[in-house]
Structure 1
Amino acid sequence: MAERSDRSSNDENQMNPDSEAKEKKDGSRSGEDESNGLSVERIFESQGVPSWRRQLTFRAFAVSFALSVIFAFIVMKLNLTTGIIPSLNVSAGLLGFFFVKTWTKVLDKSGLLQVPFTRQENTVIQTCVVASSGIAFSGGFGSFLFAMSERVAHQSTDPQSAHVYKNPSLLWMTGFLFVVSFLGLFAVVPLRKIMIIDFKLSYPSGTATAHLINSFHTPEGAKLAKKQVKALGKFFSFSFLWGFFQWFYTAGDGCGFTEFPTLGLKALQYKFYFNFSATYVGVGMICPYIINISLLLGGILSWGLMWPLIETRKGHWYPADESTTSMRGLQGYKVFIAIAMILGDGLYNFFKVLGRTLSGLYHQLRDREMSHVLPIANGSSLENPQVSYDDQRRTQLFLKDQIPTWLAVAGYVTITAISTATLPHMFPQLKWYYILVIYLFAPTLGFCNAYGCGLTDWSLASTYGKLAIFVIGAWAGASHGGILASLAACGVMMNIVSTASDLTQDFKTGYLTLASPRSLFVSQVIGTAMGCVISPCVFWLFYKAFKDLGLPGSEYPVPNGIVFRSMAELGVEGVSSLPKHCLTLCYGFFAAAMIINGFRDLVGVNPPICMKFLSRATNKRVDAFLGS
């Protein structure tokens, strides 16, 4: 495509000598991005870029607050049911454009519009909304935080640990989030130039959001955004009406269309039924096909084969009088085999991403010039003819509004001191030196997560949190409240690495839309503060409205709560409390998860090996057939 565009450009200059003369007159501003034949920044050249303070408007944060409340309910609903949270960057950018564009259009017609709506302001809205709604996930309301509660503790494997719990409270949850949610922002700020400009990491979600915002603010983009919002409203209305219809015909558990016995009543006992929930349909449409196939195969393997077979060993492998929800019975096999597969998959990908991160860092540092300063970063990029006009302009503005390093270091040290002094009062089991050790390693892990997210668009925040569970749990031990200490440490680690990757991804969006890093940092701070208030309030509404929240078979089972609790128990108590042969099965499925991941990567990275094998076998059969 680049070769074709260059050739067509040359032909056009030969046919039109005036354009060639104009291009020579402009000198370095030759007008086109030679890498793809289209300069985005040329389209917006006449608009100008507002200062970073003018990008932070009241209407932007008013719209951000409204969208944050809506997105918090969406994320919390998914968090408490499926545990699968899709990316909301594009949705935030789209809805932010729609609301503010409607607002400005009304003011323009009335003659009251003073400040036009720019793509930089749109980026500020998107950053604020994603930061706020991200707290609904990293806050642990469906994982480590709810795993501390009494409802999950009573489902414990060990009855002795059933009294170790801390029930949710709106006050301490809000305070905990305010203490731990801002540290990751200061940890990654000094590295923004390295990530975005020096290493040129792609950050696919941030890049896609930036292209969407840029397209919205062109004359043709407004029409496209209007069509997308119209389609969004259509399917939103359909989903809402369908959910109301289902609720109208649901009288209790297992009633109505929630668990429709499509495959028969016997299959319904083993969870084979058709669920008409639009939520699961929507998540299935977002997830890649390989995830949907994996869920189907996992359901057939577990509920169709394994659990019925293990159920026949009742009285031999586990006590026959254990309830179906007891972790010493069949439920123990279900939870810990799932944990073993999650750990196998998570650790494999953790080390894979960590290896790619270290390898990428090595190659990036090796390939850099001996001066350790890239031409694009030393202020002379505007005179470098090898750099496109878009990159020149974006780099110049990205480096213009510097965030002082001393501010990031001072903020990190201050929050570390506050957290070290405050968290032990919230969780007496979490000693101050545990927190200090976490904060010593947090910048390195936050950088690894942000760098890996830039390469793969995959944040491993939950994996780093699980790693903290086992490290702090083993350090504290069961006798010193290791369960609550490890779960609290998981929350500290998850919030640090999650906000670090989110902010860096937003920096990438701002780099492509010419939004100032200062305005994005301020927007991220305000959005995080919003999330620290909105998310606990939304969770509290769910917690008070549904008395069976977190219990097996309820409308909101919080599946990750028991998983994180079991991890904490396993980290501090060992494996002596597991049912018979459960550990052996866990070893087998842990190894199977590692092997399957390795085989998938082997086939994906080097498919010619398989193709050569198949082609050789086919050629032998063809030769044999022709010879006969």
Structure 2
Amino acid sequence: MDRSSSITKKTDGDENERNIVITAEQEDANNNDAGSIEKTFEGTEVPPWQKQLTLRAFVVSFVLGILFTFIVMKLNLTTGIIPSLNVSAGLLGFFFVKTWSKFLEKSGLLKQPFTRQENTVIQTCVVATSGIAFSGGFGSYLFGMSEVIAKQSTEANDSQNVKNPSLSWMIGFLFVVSFLGLFSVVPLRKIMIIDFKLIYPSGTATAHLINSFHTPQGAKLAKKQVRTLGKFFSFSFVWAFFQWFFTATESCGFNNFPTFGLKAYDNRFYFDFSATYVGVGMICPYLINVSLLIGSVLSWGIMWPLIKERKGDWYSSELKSDSLHGLQGYKVFIAIAMILGDGLYNFIKVLAHTLYGLYNQFQEKNKRPDLSQSSNTPALSYDDKKRTQLFLKDQIPTWIAVSSYIAIAVISSATLPHIFRPLKWYYIIVIYIFAPALAFCNAYGCGLTDWSLASTYGKLAIFVIGAWAGGSHGGVLAGLAACGVMMNIVSTASDLTQDFKTGYMTLASPRSMFVSQIIGTAMGCVISPCVFWLFYKAFPDIGLSGSQYKAPYALVYRNMAILGVEGFSALPDHCLTLCYVFFIAAVVINGVRDAVGVKWARFIPLPMAMAIPFYLGGYFTIDMCVGSLILFVWEKIDKAKADAFGPAVASGLICGDGIWALPNSVLALAGVKAPICMKFLSRKDNARVDAFLGS
């Protein structure tokens, strides 16, 4: 495997942003015939696009899609931090089909060899399927509509602003909104990939990974990586099963272990033995984990204890702990202020990058005729010639994309008002008029910076449509539904162009990429609601503060909608002032990070990451810092091995603990409870319990 690519991740919770750095050496190798990737595969025939879409590819994609949907759903409903799973999808897809092919080859039934194009189809389909678990809003806007979340706020919790989850309408909603983004950017695929030559770092890194799997050396390393992933998958699953035996009631078990003492535990500082977040910590860059830790200390270590002392002065002492008019209000709205500040800054930054990039592209295009005869014009490399030839070979007719977009938009405009009464048909038409331009901006910005700002566009829709509808006409529900429409369009648009880049570099046909994305999206529209429904039915306390699956961003998104409709009347004393301070601080910190350059920016925390523990607490940040520490020590001992096997270890930890959610849900639905409660008491409380039991 080519280890010159360095894969990192910048997670901001609900934004699922990726930051993949590709070194200059790798780019040089890509443009130099001596280091040509395609010459390595010169003797291998590229199958036509129909043969790239095999039955075994979609069977494997379906199985892996369910696995990754469980993982993403669990992450959605616990902390909202979702790492990039592209590497795991590509690796497991390679392993399953390679094993299948070997079995058929021995039995003499193998009709078609396993190619990198088929591997790309699997990776695309799996990521499209599990991506719906994020863009579908099961941990944010969609669950934020429910009565469970609405009851945690005293504003806008009437029936016209509430819609409880139901399997039928969730599947219907996703089917009418999830495909528009795909058709909106299809006509622009040549401009993005061939004309503008956008990097799409995630797509490029994934392509290098898949290409390397199908070389003899890469295949050997992939086998070892899969073996490592399997070991830690098994360990993580067994560990989660073992932990379950000690969780008879809500506050029992290893996940309530007061690692740093009971006082720290009361302020949510403890290690909860979660293999998932240890794995996430190994994938996320050190800066993300340190930023989370700083946010935890700032909020739960300093601010909340100080504000708690103002109880009875800043807010009523008679309020419940989860009231948004009390301490909970400061936690939620200050976190929202930082998220909005960071989101606004990055939106303007990426938009400026996009406009500047487009300006440069058109300037170069205007100059190109004058330079066409120049001997100084750089010639295309062997790789680029072959990739461009095959990329342009299988065209997707523009008229199909445009007519499909219009047809789905008409169906959607007629259907959505029946699902969400406050969301009028003319709101939807306005969204669909502007959506292609926003989808292009997101896809182009993602190609330049690798940042998908899908949730930022969704938040914009919350405020615009919510304010347009008004509080007395179900503005909160309308805003949340509009957020879902917008998020699905811009998210799938950037995902598809990313996949086109991967397909371009692995010689996978654009048609096979597009069909794979459509099939994966369709599978996700059914699988994701079913998985969420399983969680929803299995765990009665889902969405409640303090529960195992608290869905923190559901409350955050709902309160954004309330803020957009009702204004600032819901905030407790001095909360608005603190919100202004932290909003400005988020903008300033981001500005300073960009001003000082890459060398010093790695020492300045990320505001979005700092905001996540404001509401949740520091327990998961401890897990992630443990993951960082493991990787750091491993790199010091053997950097080459850590680089090669670190992602496999992390993926195994995440996958094993994530898939435990399935048997755990089944046990909960069957009414089977853990037999033991492991609980920790202070010496004083223990003496009182002993005295009570002795009497």
Relative to the length of structure 1, the TM-score reads 0.88
Structure 2 counterparts to residues 54-203 of structure 1, below 5 A: 54-158=51-155, 161=158, 164-203=161-200
Q: Give, in whole Å, the separation in 1 of the partners of 2:298 and 2:267.
A: 12
Matched to 2:59, the amino acid is: A
Structure 2 counterparts to residues 495-574 of structure 1, below 5 A: 495-574=488-567
Contact (CA 8 Å) 1:353, 1:452: kept in 2 or not?
yes
The equivalent residue for 2:309 is 312
Note if 1:238 corresponds to 2:231. Answer: no
Q: Report the CA distance between 1:160 and its aligned residue.
A: 5.4
Q: Name whichever of 433-442 and 264-273 sits farther off.
A: 264-273
Q: C-alpha offsets along residues 329-356 of structure 1, whole Å, 9 cap, x if unaligned?
A: 1101110000000000111111111111
1:322–1:372 distance in 2 versus 1, CA, 3 Å: farther
Q: Report the CA distance between 1:36 and its aligned residue.
A: 6.5
Q: Give, in whole Å, the separation in 1 of the partners of 2:248 and 2:574.
A: 40
The equivalent residue for 2:289 is 292
Matched to 2:323, the amino acid is: S
The equivalent residue for 1:619 is none
Q: C-alpha offsets along residues 141-185 of structure 1, whole Å, 9 cap, x if unaligned?
A: 000000000000000142654773100000000000000000000
Q: Name whichever of 508-517 and 193-202 sits farther off.
A: 193-202
Contact (CA 8 Å) 1:156, 1:162: kept in 2 or not?
no
Note if 1:447 corresponds to 2:440. Answer: yes
Q: Report the CA distance between 1:416 and its aligned residue.
A: 0.6
Q: Give, in whole Å, the separation in 2 of the partners of 1:498 and 1:282.
A: 25
Match of 2:355 among 358, 377, 381: 358
Matched to 2:561, the amino acid is: A
The equivalent residue for 2:472 is 479
Partner SS state of residue 543, structure 1: helix
Q: Report the CA distance between 1:250 and its aligned residue.
A: 2.1
Note if 1:332 corresponds to 2:329. Answer: yes
Structure 2 counterparts to residues 42-53 of structure 1, below 5 A: 42-53=39-50
Q: Name whichever of 470-479 and 85-94 sits farther off.
A: 85-94
Work out which of the two has the higher radius of gyration on C-alpha atoms and give 1 or 2.
Answer: 1
Contact (CA 8 Å) 2:31, 2:383: kept in 1 or not?
no
The equivalent residue for 1:247 is 244
Q: Report the CA distance between 1:551 and its aligned residue.
A: 0.3
Partner SS state of residue 52, structure 2: coil
Q: Report the CA distance between 1:251 and its aligned residue.
A: 2.4
The equivalent residue for 2:651 is none
Q: Give, in whole Å, the separation in 2 of the partners of 1:402 and 1:374.
A: 28
The equivalent residue for 2:224 is 227
The equivalent residue for 2:580 is 587
Q: C-alpha offsets along residues 272-311 of structure 1, whole Å, 9 cap, x if unaligned?
A: 2222111111111111111111111111111111111111
1:330–1:197 distance in 2 versus 1, CA, 3 Å: same
Structure 2 counterparts to residues 363-374 of structure 1, below 5 A: 363-370=360-367
Contact (CA 8 Å) 1:154, 1:162: kept in 2 or not?
no
Q: Report the CA distance between 1:193 and its aligned residue.
A: 0.8
Q: Report the CA distance between 1:372 and its aligned residue.
A: 7.5
Match of 1:430 among 380, 398, 423: 423
Q: C-alpha offsets along residues 80-121 of structure 1, whole Å, 9 cap, x if unaligned?
A: 111011112221111111111111111111111111111111
Contact (CA 8 Å) 2:593, 2:600: kept in 1 or not?
no
Contact (CA 8 Å) 1:207, 1:509: kept in 2 or not?
yes
The equivalent residue for 2:205 is 208
Match of 1:599 among 573, 592, 595: 592
Contact (CA 8 Å) 2:457, 2:487: kept in 1 or not?
yes
Q: C-alpha offsets along residues 351-374 of structure 1, whole Å, 9 cap, x if unaligned?
A: 111111111111111122446899
Q: Give, in whole Å, the separation in 2 of the partners of 1:550 and 1:355.
A: 37
1:160–1:505 distance in 2 versus 1, CA, 3 Å: closer
Q: Give, in whole Å, the separation in 2 of the partners of 1:43 and 1:160.
A: 62
Partner SS state of residue 141, structure 1: coil
1:605–1:243 distance in 2 versus 1, CA, 3 Å: closer
Q: Report the CA distance between 1:219 and its aligned residue.
A: 2.1
Q: Give, in whole Å, the separation in 2 of the partners of 1:552 and 1:185.
A: 36
1:159–1:52 distance in 2 versus 1, CA, 3 Å: closer
Cα-Cα RMSD: 1.9
1:515–1:272 distance in 2 versus 1, CA, 3 Å: same
Matched to 1:331, the amino acid is: Q
Partner SS state of residue 39, structure 2: helix
Contact (CA 8 Å) 2:182, 2:496: kept in 1 or not?
yes
Matched to 2:79, the amino acid is: T
The equivalent residue for 1:282 is 279
Contact (CA 8 Å) 1:510, 1:520: kept in 2 or not?
yes
Q: Give, in whole Å, the separation in 1 of the partners of 2:215 and 2:417.
A: 52
Q: Report the CA distance between 1:33 and its aligned residue.
A: 6.8
Q: Give, in whole Å, the separation in 2 of the partners of 1:605 and 1:109.
A: 53
Partner SS state of residue 101, structure 1: helix
The equivalent residue for 2:457 is 464
1:299–1:264 distance in 2 versus 1, CA, 3 Å: same
Matched to 1:302, the amino acid is: S
Contact (CA 8 Å) 1:157, 1:332: kept in 2 or not?
no
Note if 1:405 corresponds to 2:398. Answer: yes
Q: C-alpha offsets along residues 363-395 of structure 1, whole Å, 9 cap, x if unaligned?
A: 1111224468998xxxx9xxx981111100000
Aligned length: 571
Q: Report the CA distance between 1:232 and its aligned residue.
A: 0.5
The equivalent residue for 2:381 is 388
Contact (CA 8 Å) 1:153, 1:162: kept in 2 or not?
no
Q: C-alpha offsets along residues 583-623 of structure 1, whole Å, 9 cap, x if unaligned?
A: 11101110111111111111126869x9xxxxxxxxxxxxx
Q: Report the CA distance between 1:225 and its aligned residue.
A: 1.2
Where does structure 1 lack aligned partners over 5 or more consecutive residues? 1-31, 611-628
Contact (CA 8 Å) 2:156, 2:476: kept in 1 or not?
no
1:215–1:433 distance in 2 versus 1, CA, 3 Å: same
Contact (CA 8 Å) 1:510, 1:516: kept in 2 or not?
yes
Contact (CA 8 Å) 1:90, 1:208: kept in 2 or not?
no
Q: Give, in whole Å, the separation in 2 of the partners of 1:48 and 1:96.
A: 21
Contact (CA 8 Å) 1:182, 1:496: kept in 2 or not?
yes
Matched to 1:423, the amino acid is: L
1:417–1:273 distance in 2 versus 1, CA, 3 Å: same
Larger RCO (CA within 8 A; separation ≥ 6): 2
Matched to 1:301, the amino acid is: L
Where does structure 2 lack aligned partners over 5 or more consecutive residues? 1-28, 604-695
Note if 1:41 corresponds to 2:51. Answer: no
1:466–1:65 distance in 2 versus 1, CA, 3 Å: same
Partner SS state of residue 49, structure 2: coil
Q: Give, in whole Å, the separation in 1 of the partners of 2:251 and 2:41.
A: 56
Deviation beyond 3 Å, 4+ runs, structure 1: 159-163, 369-375, 605-608
Contact (CA 8 Å) 1:89, 1:206: kept in 2 or not?
no
Q: Report the CA distance between 1:35 and its aligned residue.
A: 2.6
Contact (CA 8 Å) 1:157, 1:566: kept in 2 or not?
no
